Amino acid sequence: MKKVFFSQGLLDSLAEEGRISLDGHVLTLLSKDRPSFNLEPAFRFTGTADGKPDPHGLVGTIRSEKDLRQMKAEIYLDSILWGDAAYQTVPGFIGEEQELMEKLSDTELLARFLLENL
């Protein structure tokens, strides 16, 4: 399944333009194919707050809020503290594309069933 990071700013712009639909934690792009994504709060790490080298290798990565809480990271708006390092982030969501079962052929459905159950 495809995963995409949607920044909060991008979602705000798309919503203002009427290009998305939100239903709970499901985002649907109002385009020809109308792909839908299950959303999970996440952060994209853009740099350390002090501009020094990243001691934990988080810059350039995207982490879910759930993972950050399990790491015991402290989240405040667009800043995250983990250990002795402070990071600047872009808040948003990880979107995991929903597959529509009707788009899959019988062979693909059988293959998926066998892979998941054997």
Instruction: State residue 6 phi and psi, 5-degree precision.
Output: -110, 115
Model confidence at 98, pLDDT cuts 50, 70, 90, reads: confident
Task: Return the ∠ at Cα 60 (arms to 25 and 79), rounded to 5°.
Answer: 65
pLDDT band for 111, please (50, 70, 90 cuts).
confident
DSSP 5-51: EEEHHHHHHHHHTT-EEEETTEEEE-SSS--EEEEEEEEEEEEETTS
Cα four-point dihedral sign 110, 111, 112, 115? positive
Q: What is the pTM of this model?
A: 0.79
The model's confidence at residue 118, banded by pLDDT at 50, 70 and 90, is low
Q: Residue range 18-40: average pLDDT?
A: 90
